[in-house]
Chains A and B, each alone.
Chain A
Amino acid sequence: MPRIENLKKVMIFGSGPIVIGQACEFDYSGTQACKALMKEGLEVILVNSNPATIMTDPEIATRVYVEPLKVPFVSRILEQERPDAIIPTLGGQTALNLALDLDRSGILNELGISFLGADPATIRSAEDREAFCHILDSVGARYPKSQMVRTFEQGLEVAEILSYPLILRPNYTLGGGGGGIAYSLEEYKTKLVTALQESPTSEVLVEQSVAGWKEFELEVMRDRRGTFVVICSIENVDPCGVHTGDSITVAPQQTLTDCQYQEMRDEAKKIINAVGLTCGGANIQFVVDPVTGERLVIEMNPRVSRSSALASKATGFPIAKIAALLAVGYGLDEIQNDITGTTPSCYEPALDYVVTKIPRFNFEKFPEVNKLGVPNDLLSTQMKSIGEVMAIGRTFKESFMKALNSMEQKDLSYEGRSSLEERLSYPNSRRIHWIFEALQEGWTIERLNLLTQIDVWFLEQFADLVQIEENLTQLDRNSLLRAKRAGISDARIARKTSLSEEEVWKRRRELDLHPAFLKVDTCAGEFASETPYFYSTYWGDPKDYLRRSTSSERDRVVVLGSGPNRIGQGIEFDYGCVRGVKALQRRNWVVAMINSNPETVSTDYDTANELYFEPLTLECCREVFHHIGPKGFVAQLGGQTAINLAGGLVDSGYSMLGSSLETIDLAEDRARFAKICREFDFKIPPSGFAGDLTEALKVAQQIGYPLLCRPSYVLGGRRMEIIENQDELEGYFQRSSDEVSSDRPALMDFFLEGALEVDVDLVRGKDWVVVGGVVEHIEAAGVHSGDSMGVLPPQRLKDETCVKIEELSSQLADRMNIIGHLNLQLAIKDDQIFVLEANPRSSRSVPFVVKSTLIPLVDLAVDAMLGLDRIKVQPERYQWKEMTSVCVKGVVFPFNKFPGADIVLGPEMKSTGESMGRGKDYAEALLKALLSSQMTLPLKGEVFFSLRDKDKDALVEVAKELVTMGYALSATPGTAQFFGDHSLPCIIVRKVHQGRPNCVDRIRSGKVDFVINTTSGRLAQEASFSIRRSCIDYRVPCITESDAVLAFLVALKKHRSGEFEVSPLPARLMNH
Chain B
Amino acid sequence: MPKFESQEGYLVLESGEIFCGQLFGDFERAGEVVFNTSHSGYEEMGTDPSYFGQILVATAPMQGNYGVDREVWESGGIKISGFVSLEIQNTERESGWLTRLLENQVPVVTGFDTRRLVLHLREKGTTWGAIVKAENSKMASSQGRQMIREGKSLPQDWMVQVSAPGRTSFTGNIPKGPRVALIDFGCKSNIRRIIERSSSEVALFNCKTSAVEIQAWEPDGIILSSGPGDPTQVSNDVLGELRTLLGWRPIFGICMGHQVLCRVAGGRTFKLKFGHRGGNHPVKDQRTGEIYVTSQNHGYAVEPDSLPKEIVVTHTNLNDQTVEGVEWSARKCWGIQFHPESHPGPRDAEKLLVEFLERLR
A contact residues vs B (CB 8 Å cutoff): 225-230, 233, 252-259, 261-262, 265-266, 269, 331-333, 342-344, 346-354, 394-396, 456-457, 460, 516, 518, 523-528, 539-541, 544
Contact = CB atoms under 8 A, between A and B. Distances in A.
Contacts of A348: 279-280, 293, 346
Contacts, number: 147
A396 B85 CA distance: 14
Which 5 A/B pairs are nearest by Cβ-Cβ distance? A258-B41, A350-B37, A524-B59, A258-B344, A348-B280
14 contacts: A228-B293, A252-B60, A257-B69, A265-B346, A344-B319, A348-B279, A350-B60, A352-B59, A352-B118, A395-B61, A457-B66, A457-B91, A523-B280, A541-B113
Interface in B328-360: 342-348
B210 interface: no
Contacts of B93: 257
Contact of B281 (A258, A347, A352): A347
Contact of B116 (A254, A258, A350, A544): A544
Contacts of B118: 352, 524-526
B305 interface: no
A258 B284 contact: no
A257 B72 contact: yes
A523 B319 CA distance: 11
Nearest to A250: B62
Given A252-B39, A354-B61, A266 B347 contact: yes
Contacts of A226: 290
Contacts of A457: 65-66, 89, 91
A255 B39 contact: no
Interface string B30-43: 00000101111101
The secondary-structure label for the interface of chain B is loop
Contacts of A525: 35, 37, 59, 115, 118-119, 122
Nearest to A516: B113
Contacts of B60: 252, 350-352, 524
Given A354-B61, A524-B59, A539-B86, A347 B40 contact: no
Interface string B92-118: 010000000000000000000111101
A351 B114 CA distance: 13
B318 interface: yes
A480 to B, nearest CB: 15
Interface of B: 1, 35, 37-41, 43-44, 59-62, 65-66, 69, 72, 86-87, 89, 91, 93, 113-116, 118-119, 122, 278-282, 284, 289-291, 293, 318-319, 342-348
Given A333-B318, A527-B319, A544-B113, A349 B66 contact: no
Contacts of B113: 516, 539-541, 544
Nearest to A352: B59
A262 B61 contact: no
Contacts of B40: 253, 256-258, 261
Contacts of A544: 113, 116
A256 B66 contact: yes
A637 B339 CA distance: 51
B39 A350 contact: yes
A258 B345 contact: yes
Contacts of B61: 352-354, 394-395
Nearest to B276: A526
Nearest to A345: B282
B37 A344 contact: no
A230 B115 CA distance: 23
Considering residues B37, B289, B291, which has the most beta carbons from chain A within 10 angstroms of its beta carbon? B291
Nearest to B87: A395
Considering residues A229, A331, A539, which has the most beta carbons from chain B within 10 angstroms of its beta carbon? A539
A457 B343 CA distance: 23
A262 B280 contact: no
Contacts of A349: 280
Contacts of B87: 395
Considering residues B38, B114, B282, B348, which has the most beta carbons from chain A within 10 angstroms of its beta carbon? B282
Contacts of A344: 282, 318-319
A460 B89 contact: yes
A350 B278 contact: yes
Contacts of B41: 258
Contacts of A460: 1, 89, 91
A262 B344 contact: yes
Contacts of A541: 113, 116
A265 B62 CA distance: 20
Contacts of A350: 37-39, 59-60, 278, 280
A540 B119 CA distance: 12
Contacts of A342: 319
A540 B62 CA distance: 16
A541 B117 CA distance: 12
Nearest to B119: A525
B86 A343 contact: no
Contacts of B344: 258, 262
A484 to B, nearest CB: 14
B229 to A, nearest CB: 21
Contacts of A352: 37, 59-61, 114-115, 118
Nearest to B114: A352
A343 B93 CA distance: 37
Given A252-B39, A333-B282, A347 B62 contact: no
Given A225-B290, A233-B39, A540-B115, A262 B1 contact: no
B65 A254 contact: yes
A231 to B, nearest CB: 11
B346 A262 contact: yes
A526 B280 CA distance: 11
A143 B118 CA distance: 41
B182 to A, nearest CB: 22
Given A352-B60, A540-B116, 12 more contacts: A257-B43, A257-B66, A257-B72, A258-B38, A333-B282, A343-B319, A351-B39, A352-B37, A457-B66, A525-B35, A525-B37, A528-B122
Contacts of A353: 61
A259 B72 contact: yes
A395 B86 contact: yes
B291 A346 contact: yes
A525 B289 CA distance: 28
Nearest to A522: B280
A152 B119 CA distance: 62
A524 B277 CA distance: 12
A332 B122 contact: no
B59 A333 contact: no
A573 B65 CA distance: 40
B118 to A, nearest CB: 4
A266 B347 CA distance: 7
A350 B62 CA distance: 13
Nearest to A262: B347
Considering residues B38, B119, B280, which has the most beta carbons from chain A within 10 angstroms of its beta carbon? B280
Contact of A255 (B66, B115, B116): B66
Given A252-B60, A457-B89, A343 B346 contact: no
B50 to A, nearest CB: 16
Contacts of A523: 37, 280
Considering residues B41, B66, B289, B347, which has the most beta carbons from chain A within 10 angstroms of its beta carbon? B66
Contact of A347 (B43, B91, B122, B282): B282
Given A226-B290, A252-B39, A395-B61, A343 B318 contact: yes
A333 B291 contact: yes
A481 to B, nearest CB: 11
Contacts of B89: 457, 460
A347 B280 contact: yes
B70 to A, nearest CB: 13
A269 B153 CA distance: 47
Contacts of A257: 40, 43, 66, 69, 72, 93
Contact of A258 (B37, B122, B293, B343): B343
Contacts of A269: 348
Nearest to B40: A258
B313 to A, nearest CB: 16
